[in-house]
Amino acid sequence: MRYYSKKGIITGVLIWGAVAFLIGSFLFLPGGPEGKGEIIAAILVCGMTSAFIIWCWFGTYYQINGNQLKIVSGPFRWKVDIMIIKSIRKTRNPLSSPALSLNRIELLYGKWDTMLISPKNEKQFCETLKKINSQIEINF
């Protein structure tokens, strides 16, 4: 089952603001790139950075396959064994993570590992994990 990331207003403004800044800095700044080499370099840097950011925005999801939770955010991928997840709790921790909202849940797994994610339907997501591993402690 696949759960897409919830998209928050603050993270949306930051992400789309960065894309607008990159494109605007290339198109509208006076004294921009001069010569073919500089123009090509500017297009590559601004274009590839914008494409990467957009890929992360549209390509962040969490997929449950058997006993494994696959977390995908653009080109980044993590796999977490659901059977070693100890607890789930709500958080607004702003640390970088595969979550597109500040309304997140923190998965504590293994000995010291944590992952911050933001599935759209947190309750259903947690219930699905709990069906697979009844030992998960959910603190909402």
HEC string for 9-61: HHHHHHHHHHHHHHHHHHHCCCCCCCCHHHHHHHHHHHHHHHHHHHHHHHCEE
d(CA 6, CA 139): 19
Regarding predicted confidence, which is higher, 68 or 28?
A: 68
d(CA 54, CA 123): 27
User: Does domain 81-139 match CATH 2.40.50?
Assistant: yes
Length of the chain: 140
Write down the pLDDT at residue 51: 94
pLDDT in tens, 83-124: 999 999 999 999 989 999 999 999 999 889 999 999 999 999
d(CA 14, CA 88): 27
Q: Is 76 left (phi over 0), alpha (psi -120 to 50) or beta?
A: beta
The CATH 2.40.50 domain(s) of the chain lie at 81-139
Residue 27 pLDDT grade (very low, low, confident, very high; cuts 50, 70, 90): confident
Write down the pLDDT at residue 31: 65
Write down the pLDDT at residue 86: 96
How many CB atoms sit inside 10 A of residue 117's CB?
27
